[in-house]
Structure 1
Amino acid sequence: MQRWRSALTEVANLSGFNSHVIRPESKLIEEIVSEVLERLDDTFETENKLVGVDSRIEEILSLLGVGLTMDTCKLGIWGIGGVGKTAIAGAFFSKISRRFEGSYFAHNVREAEETGKLADLRKELLSTLLNDGNMNKFPNIGLNFQSKRLTRKKVLIVFDDVNHPRQIEFLIGNLDWFASGSRILITARDKQALINCGVNKIYQIKELVHVDALKLLNQCAFGRDHPDASYIELTHEAIKYAQGVPIALKILGRFLFRKRKEVWENAISKLEMVPQMEIQEVLKISYDGLDDKEKNIFLDIACFLVGEDRDIVTKYLNACEFFATSGIEVLVDKSLITISEYNKIRMHDLMRNMGREIVRQESINDPSKRSRLWHHKEIYEVLTENMVSNYDFASYFI
Structure 2
Amino acid sequence: MKRRSSSPETRSTGHGSSRPEYDVFLSFRGPDTRFNFTDVLHYALLDRGISVFIDKQGIDVGEEIGPEIFQAIDDSKICIPIFSRGYASSSWCLRELEKMMECRKTKELEVMPIFYDVQPSDVKLETKVYRDALTLHEKTHGVEIVQRWAEALKEVARIKGWDTKNIGHGELTRLIAHKVLVKLKVSSVHLSDNLVGIDQAVDEVTDLLSVESKDIRLVGICGIGGIGKTTLAKLIYHELSANFENCCLLSDVRQASESSSFSLLQLQRQLVHDILGDKTIEVSSIDEGKNLIQRRFSRKKVLIFLDDVNHRSQLMALAAKKEWFGLGSRILVTTRDKSVLCEFEDQFEHCLIYEAKELNNLETLQLFSKHAFRSISPPNAFLSLSKKIAAKTGGLPLAIEVIGSFLIGKKQAVWQSMLKKMEECPHKDVKDKLMLSYEALDHHQRQIFLDIACFLVGENKRDADYMWNDCRYFPDEAIEVLLLMSLVKITAENQLWMHDQLKDLGRSIVYQENYEDPGKRSRVWNHEEGLDMIKRKKGTETVVAICMNFAGLYQPLF
TM-score by length of 1: 0.58
Partner of 1:132: 278
Matched, 1:192 2:343: no
- Structure 2 CA distance for aligned equivalents of residues 46 and 159 of structure 1: 17
**Cα deviation code 1:186-241 (max 9, x no counterpart):** 11112222211336211111101112111110010011112110111111111111
Residue 196 of structure 2: aligned partner: 51
Quote the offset at 1:135 in angstroms.
Answer: 3.0
> What's 1:95 paired with?
239
Pairing 1:4-15 to 2, within 5 Å after superposition: none
Query: Normalized per residue, which structure has more strand?
Result: 2
Per the TM alignment, residue 361 of structure 1 is displaced from its structure 2 partner at its CA by 4.5
Percent of pairs identical after alignment? 32
Amino acid at match of 1:205: A
SS in 1 for 2:298: helix
Counterpart-to-counterpart distance in 1, 2:315 and 2:304: 11
Note if 1:123 corresponds to 2:269.
yes
Asked if the contact 1:82/1:283 (under 8 Å) is kept, the reply is no
Alignment of 1:381-396 (within 5 A): none
Please state whether the residue corresponding to 1:86 is helix, strand or coil: helix
CA distance in 1, matches of 2:513, 2:240: 48
Counterpart contact for 2:385–2:415, Cα < 8 Å: yes
3-state DSSP of counterpart to 2:239: helix
User: Are the equivalent residues in 2 in contact too, given 1:143–1:172 (CA < 8 A)?
Assistant: no
| 3-state SS in 2 of match to 1:163 | coil
1:83 aligns with 2:238: no
Q: How does 1:233-382 map to 2 (within 5 A)?
A: 233-273=384-424, 280=431, 361=512
Measured at CA, do residues 137 and 237 of structure 1 come closer, stay the same or move farther in structure 2, by a change above 3 Å?
same
Partner letter of residue 238 of structure 2? S
Instruction: Give 1:83 shift.
Output: 0.8
1:143 counterpart residue number: 289
Q: 1:171 aligns with which of 318, 339, 343?
A: 318
> C-alpha separation between the residues in 1 aligned to 2:191 and 2:307?
24
Out of 56, 64, 69, the position equivalent to 2:213 is 69
Structure 1, unpaired ranges of 5+: 18-23, 285-349, 365-398
The structure-2 alpha-carbon separation of the partners of 1:114 and 1:281, relative to structure 1 and needing over 3 Å to count, comes to: farther
Amino acid across the alignment from 2:272: L
Relative CO higher for 1 or 2, CA cutoff 8 Å, sep ≥ 6?
1
The answer on whether the counterparts of 1:209 and 1:244 sit within 8 Å (CA) in structure 2 is yes
What is the one-letter code of the residue matched to 2:338? Answer: K
- Who wins on radius of gyration, i.e. which is larger? 2
Cα distance change of structure 1 residues 45 and 158 upon mapping to structure 2, 3 Å threshold: closer
Deviations 1:111-150 (A, max 9, x none): 2233242221221111111111113586788124311200
Query: Which of 108, 112, 136 pairs up with 2:252?
Result: 108
Kept in 1: contact 2:360–2:395 (CA 8 A): yes
> TM-score with structure 2 length normalisation?
0.43
8 A contact 1:80–1:283 mirrored in 2 = no
Give the 3-state SS of the residue equivalent to 2:280 in structure 1. helix
**TM-superposition CA deviations, 1:313-334 (whole Å, max 9, x none):** xxxxxxxxxxxxxxxxxxxxxx
- Whole-Å separation in 2 of the counterparts to 1:282 and 1:137: 44
**1 CA distance for matches of 2:214 and 2:395?**
36
RMSD: 4.5
Which of 60, 65, 76 is 2:205 aligned to?
60
Once structures 1 and 2 are overlaid, which stretch shifts more, 169-178 or 243-252? 169-178
Q: Contact 2:191 / 2:234 at 8 angstroms: preserved in 1? A: no
1:159 corresponds in structure 2 to 306
Which residue of 1 is the match for residue 521 of structure 2?
none
Query: What is the DSSP-based 3-state SS (H/G/I as helix, E as strand, rest coil) of the residue aligned with 1:77?
Result: strand
In structure 2, relative to structure 1, the CA distance for the partners of 1:187 and 1:176 (3 Å cut) is farther
Q: Quick one: distance in 1 between partners of 2:411 and 2:312?
A: 48
Cα deviation 1:342-376 (Å, max 9, x = unaligned): xxxxxxxx9xxx9xx98x95789xxxxxxxxxxxx
More helix by share: 1
- Per-residue deviation, 1:261: 0.7
* 1:82–1:282 CA contact under 8 A, matched in 2: no
CA contact (8 A) 1:127 1:133 kept: yes
> C-alpha displacement at 1:170, in angstroms?
2.0
Tell me whether 1:220 sits opposite 2:362 in the alignment. Answer: no
Q: Is the 8 A contact 1:81 1:282 kept in 2?
A: no
Mean alpha-carbon deviation: is it higher for 79-88 or for 165-174? 165-174
Counterpart CA distance in 1 for 2:227 and 2:200 is 15
**Amino acid paired to 1:111:** Q
Counterpart residue identity of residue 217, structure 2: C
Looking at structure 1, the residues matched to 409 and 245 of structure 2 have their Cα atoms a distance apart, in angstroms, of: 46
Amino acid at match of 1:265: Q
Of the structure 1 ranges 189-198 and 227-236, higher mean CA displacement relative to structure 2 is found in 189-198
Contact 1:123–1:139 (CA under 8 A) maintained in structure 2:
no
User: Which secondary structure does the structure 2 equivalent of 1:184 belong to?
Assistant: strand
- Pick closer, same or farther for the CA change 1:282–1:272 going to 2, 3 Å: closer
Distance 1:147 1:71 in 2: 18
SS at match of 2:318: helix
Is the 1:147–1:173 contact (alpha carbons within 8 Å) kept by the matching residues of 2? no
Q: Once the 2 structures are TM-superposed, how far is the Cα of residue 98 of structure 1 from its aligned partner?
A: 2.1
- CA–CA separation in structure 2 for the residues paired with 1:73 and 1:249: 33
CA gap of 1:58–1:268, structure 2 versus 1, over 3 A, is: same
Letter in 2 for 1:129: I
Residue number in structure 2 paired with 1:370:
none
The amino acid of 1:124's aligned partner reads Q
**Aligned partners of 1:267 and 1:181: how far apart in 2?**
50
Unaligned runs of 5+ in 2: 1-143, 161-165, 169-174, 436-500, 516-558
Confirm or deny: 8 A CA contact 2:191 2:231 kept in the other structure.
no
Letter in 1 for 2:226: G
